């Protein structure tokens, strides 16, 4: 028996859609990509801040692998056992958007230079 994904619904920051689909963040573009690529939108929890990177939590490994296949090659993906919840395995597909040249740049800010030319972040660390 697979994990019941409806247990992820109902949270303050979680949006519930039809077919037991739950999202945390602004992820409609990812849902659209999955849908257009033929992935059945049901029984999943999509987590992310934006559509550049995140995780899709799914009840079975085959569904996680199907999600990864639907996102490739636009996203770099990784399928893994996320853990166990209520005695059932929970699988995840992590995804990171690829650049046009095929590389996967960091989805987080690592360098920041102000308009006056002063660099305040370098390699993810504050510059003093």
In this model, does residue 14 exceed pLDDT 90?
A: no
Distance CA 73, CA 82 (A): 23
Between CA 119 and CA 66 the distance in angstroms is: 42
The per-residue pLDDT for range 26-65, each reduced to its tens digit, is 788 899 999 999 999 999 999 987 788 899 999 999 999 9
Q: How many CB atoms lie within 10 A of CB 4?
A: 14
Peptide bond into 73 cis (omega under 30): yes
Quick one: pLDDT at residue 34? 95
Residue 38's alpha-carbon distances to 8, 58, 69, 71, 113, in angstroms, are 24, 16, 10, 10, 42
Residue 55 and residue 47: Cα distance in Å, rounded? 5
How do residues 53-103 score in pLDDT, each as one tens digit? 899 999 999 999 999 999 999 999 999 999 888 888 899 999 998 878 777
């Amino acid at each position: 028996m697979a994990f019941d994904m409806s247990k992820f619904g109902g949270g303050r920051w979680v949006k519930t859609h039809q077919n037991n689909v739950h999202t945390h963040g602004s992820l409609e573009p990812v849902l659209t990509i999955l849908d257009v690529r033929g992935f059945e939108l049901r029984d999943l929890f999509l987590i992310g801040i934006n559509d550049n990177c995140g995780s899709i939590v799914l009840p079975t490994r085959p569904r996680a692998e199907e999600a990864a296949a639907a996102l490739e090659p636009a996203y770099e993906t990784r399928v893994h056992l996320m853990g166990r919840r209520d005695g059932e395995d929970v699988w995840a597909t992590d995804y990171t958007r690829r650049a046009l040249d095929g590389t996967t740049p960091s989805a987080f800010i690592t360098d920041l230079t102000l308009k006056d030319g002063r660099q305040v972040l370098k390699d993810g660390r504050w510059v003093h």
